[in-house]
Amino acid sequence: MGLACITEIMLGGMDVMVFGRSLKENICDGGQLDTIPHVLTLREYPKEKLSGKVVLVRFDSTLLLGEPLDLKISSVNEALFTIKYLYDAGAKVLLVSNWNSPNNPMFLSAKSVADYLSSLLQLKVVPTNCISGYMQSRVQDEADILLFENLSKFREELANCFVFAEKLSSGVDIFVNDAFSQSHKILASNVGVTRFCAASVAGFQFEKDLFRLIEATMSKETPNVAIIGGGNILDKAPALHFLASICDGLVFVGLMAFQIMHALGQPVPLNLVERSTTKDSLKIIQLAQTRNIPVLVPKDFWCSSGSFPKHLDLFPAHGIPEGWSPVGLGPVSLDEIACLLSKCKKILWIGPVKFQTSEEDTHGASKLAMMLTELGKDVCSVSVVGNAACNIIMKTSRCPSLYNIIENASVVWEFLKGRKLPGVTALDRAYPFDIDWDTILYDPTQPLIVDIGSGNGLFILGMARKQKQFNYLGLEINDKLVRRCLNSVRTYGLKNVYFIATNATSTFRSIVSSYPGKLILASVQCPNPDFNKPEHRWRMLQRSLIEAIADLLVSNGKVFLQSDIEAVALRMKEQFLIYGKGKLAIVEDDMKVGQGGWLEENPFGVWSDWERHVIDRGDPMYRLMISKVD
């Protein structure tokens, strides 16, 4: 049976649900880090809205262009299914990715990659050297799917260049990110393009890998133990500290074990010790001791003298002779690990069982993998992270489906450090908010005023106390400021104001369209320009936001714009008049207009925090009122 036929069978048999519950439901279970935002998935996106839409798909070349392609890995089939699903839904699909040609001789050109993907999908994939949008391509009529050039050729990709991202997404309606392994990076093709697309969603493979990440790091099952391999404890210290705070035991099995042993005062070969890591190692040990959880380090090692033919001998960890180097875990170490793991309900194995001179697949690693296989057959949940650990599992286990496998360890380490994953966070911009307005506002039928980029909330809070016949909503991307504003709402006992942490550029329509009452005013005040990066100025005001405001404003509703920088105010004015669909016009009635056509006074009598700062220093504000006309 050919590869294309195998793929077709797998694609045809896959359920769109991917797993039993939605990603949103799994995230809401709690217990995970707070660095996972809400994201919209392709499975949740209305399929009927895909027909005729131009969809840009960022696929994972390490999966689909791997050599050889391993159809036993479910992520491969999920990645193929994303593309096939979009095509079958009637979307016009563009594929983008990066592939390292020197390591893949068969993929030296976009044409060779397109031909290979054609055989996998049984669709005609055609390459194009155009990076400025599907609608401008001359080959779209002869292709089922288009493939853009290798993104590795463009420095602008790694730089997340604003101009490059805009060209890449020109003519695109929907962005689908299906390259979870790149989600710890800030790239034009996974972050930058989301600024220009009406919707940005997670593909099936991305969704499943994000779910795997949550599964691996949630600590609901107890006891749970982390098996930690590899080295570089200095860079991973925050992640190890987090693991020490949630796990019921830590087992160090790689080069990192020698740093822990040294910090514990045990004699180890000094050539295996990074002295700069002692402080971090001690902090991890102290936290574990405070929580009264075990920290296991190897008791013995198989070692090599470096002679040829290779000769191995067994030594205790504290008695490795000079000239000998550890290459694998000894039997005492494996027995002690087995004793601890036998009581576990959840195990996370991250990093290789590897030392300076050892090969990747030592007999210790294989025995550890077989141990986990037996535990996985019972009631123990086992997550395996990193290429080295996953390869051992795939070689030794007949049932890889027993494991929660995540091949890219870099993404997991970044997540465990408490850092937000840019490729995941970028998808938050299109999340369809489901808001219980009756809970957050006393009377959600009152007219609504929305401040976009509400900052410290002084304008919204002042307006809410001054005019209680209206409801007020602040939209701010900085969640710390939003938490502070919500505390003020509770302190003042206000029932007509609320704040949401979000990127209003893409979520404004979703949020405001669900409001029961009418939108009478939207304000954008003092967006922060970056004059060192001209392409970043006024990036808050994208076309999609202005169109949403124009659509949702009630007839004769207003838009209030102001900035302390005249060039910014002028640009905002131009954008609203250009993208307002002919529904917006400048208002001057009953308002004092000064030089340049700017309003002399704030028409509301309530200043924002930055406006107050500008006025206090004696500088002018450039204000403008726009109205929606029939």
Q: Given a cut of 90, is residue 545 above it in pLDDT?
A: no
Residue spans of alpha helices (H) in 355-408: 363-377, 387-396
Question: How confident is the model over 421-441, as a mean pLDDT?
Answer: 79
Residues of the chain with CATH 3.40.50.150: 433-628
Q: Report the pLDDT value the prediction gives residue 597, as an integer from 0 to 100.
A: 82
Q: Mean pLDDT lowest for which of 47-61, 102-116, 402-416, 451-465?
A: 102-116
| Alpha carbon distance 203, 180 (integer Å) | 9
Phi then psi dihedrals of residue 282, to 5 deg: -65, -40
Between 433 and 395, name the one with better pLDDT.
395
> Two tokens at 64?
């689909």
Of residues 404 and 134, the one with the higher pLDDT is: 404
Q: Give pLDDT tens digits for 575-603.
A: 899 888 888 988 766 677 877 789 988 98
Task: Kindly report the three-state secondary structure assignment for every residue of 296-359.
Answer: ECCCEEEEECCCCCCCEEEEEHHHCCCCCEEEEECHHHHHHHHHHHCCCCEEEEECCCCCCCCC
Q: Which of 219-223, 448-452, 495-499, 554-558 has the lowest mean pLDDT?
A: 219-223
**Tokens encoding 44:** 């949740």
Residues of the chain by 3-state class (helix, strand, coil), percent to 5: 45, 20, 40
* 152-156, 399-403, 542-546: range with lowest mean pLDDT: 399-403
Q: What is the mean pLDDT of residues 91-106?
A: 78
Backbone angles phi, psi at 332, to 5 degrees: -65, -45
Burial of 115 (0-12, 13-18, 19+ CB in 10 A): middle
Task: Quote the pLDDT of residue 535.
Answer: 42
Can you read off the two tokens belonging to residue 88? 């079958």
CB 275 within 8 Å of CB 251:
no
Q: Which helix (H) or strand (E) holds 404?
A: strand 403-406
Rounded to whole angstroms, the Cα distance separating 430 from 41 reads 10
Asked if residue 66 lies in contact with residue 100, where contact means CB atoms within 8 angstroms, the answer is no
Helix (H, G, I), strand (E, B) or coil at 561: strand
Is-contact 311 267, C-beta < 8 A?
no
Contact of 427 with 41, CB cutoff 8 Å: no
CA distance 218 to 35: 13
Mapping DSSP to helix (H, G, I), strand (E, B) and coil, where does residue 92 land? strand
- CATH 3.40.50.150, domain 433-628, yes or no: yes
Alpha helices, DSSP H, located in 61-175: 61-64, 74-88, 110-121, 155-158, 162-168
Q: Dihedral, CA atoms, 19, 24, 29, 32, nearest 10 degrees?
A: 100
Vertex 223, ends 217 and 228: CA angle to 5°?
A: 55
Q: Which residue would you say has higher pLDDT here, 342 or 105? A: 342
Q: Which of 15-29, 203-217, 263-277, 506-520 has the lowest mean pLDDT?
A: 15-29
Q: 539: pLDDT confidence band, cut at 50, 70 and 90?
A: low
H/E run at residue 475: strand 471-476
The H or E element spanning position 405 is strand 403-406
Q: What is the mean pLDDT of the chain?
A: 83
Residue 452 has pLDDT above 60, yes or no: yes
- Quickly state the pLDDT bin for 206 (edges 50, 70, 90): very high
DSSP state string for 163-185: HHHHHHTTT-SEEEEE-GGGTTS
| pLDDT at 135 exceeding the cut of 80 | no
Higher local confidence (pLDDT), 295 or 538? 295
Task: Compute the average pLDDT of residues 138-160.
Answer: 82
Ranges for all domains in the chain classified under CATH 3.40.50.1260:
3-213, 220-397
Which ranges of 173-277 does DSSP label H, i.e. alpha helix? 204-217, 233-246, 256-263
In CATH, what is the architecture of 3-213? 3-Layer(aba) Sandwich (3.40)
Q: Among candidates 556, 566, 529, 519, which has minimal Cα distance to 453? A: 529
**Residue 8: phi, psi to the nearest 5?**
-60, -40
At residue 136, the pLDDT reads: 46
| Residue showing tokens 């910014």 | 568
CB 15 within 8 A of CB 134: no
Distance, CA of 55 to CA of 314 (rounded, Å): 58
Over 90: is that where the pLDDT of 22 sits? no
pLDDT at 69: 60
Cα atoms in the Cβ-side hemisphere of radius 13 Å centred on 29: 16
Burial (CB count <10 Å: 0-12, 13-18, 19+), residue 381: buried
Q: What confidence tens digit (pLDDT) does each residue in 393-429 have?
A: 877 776 667 778 888 889 999 999 888 888 998 886 5
Q: What is the value of pTM for the model shown?
A: 0.71
**How far is Cα of residue 497 from the mean position of the Cα atoms in its chain?**
30
Q: Which residues pair with 316 in a beta bridge?
A: 300
Residue labelled with tokens 């695109």: 172
Per the CB < 8 A criterion, the answer to whether 1 and 390 are in contact is: no
Nearest Cα residue to 419 out of 205, 193, 213:
213
Tell which residue, 193, 171, 195, has the closest CA to residue 96: 193
Residue 64 has pLDDT above 60, yes or no: yes
The predicted-structure confidence for 597-608, as pLDDT tens digits, reads as follows: 899 889 898 988
Task: Check residue 309 and give its pLDDT.
Answer: 62
Overall fold of domain 220-397? Rossmann fold (3.40.50)
Q: pLDDT at residue 140 above 60?
A: no
> Phi, psi at residue 404, to the nearest 5°?
-95, 100
Rounded to 5°, the CA angle 287-293-294 comes to 110
Distance CA 58, CA 206 (A): 10
Give the chain's end-to-end CA distance (angstroms, integer): 63
Mean pLDDT of all residues in 234-263: 91
pLDDT in tens, 476-533: 888 889 999 999 999 999 999 999 988 787 778 888 988 999 999 999 998 875 444 4
Per-residue pLDDT reduced to its tens digit, 620-629: 999 999 999 8
Task: Specify the 3-state DSSP secondary structure of 255.
Answer: coil
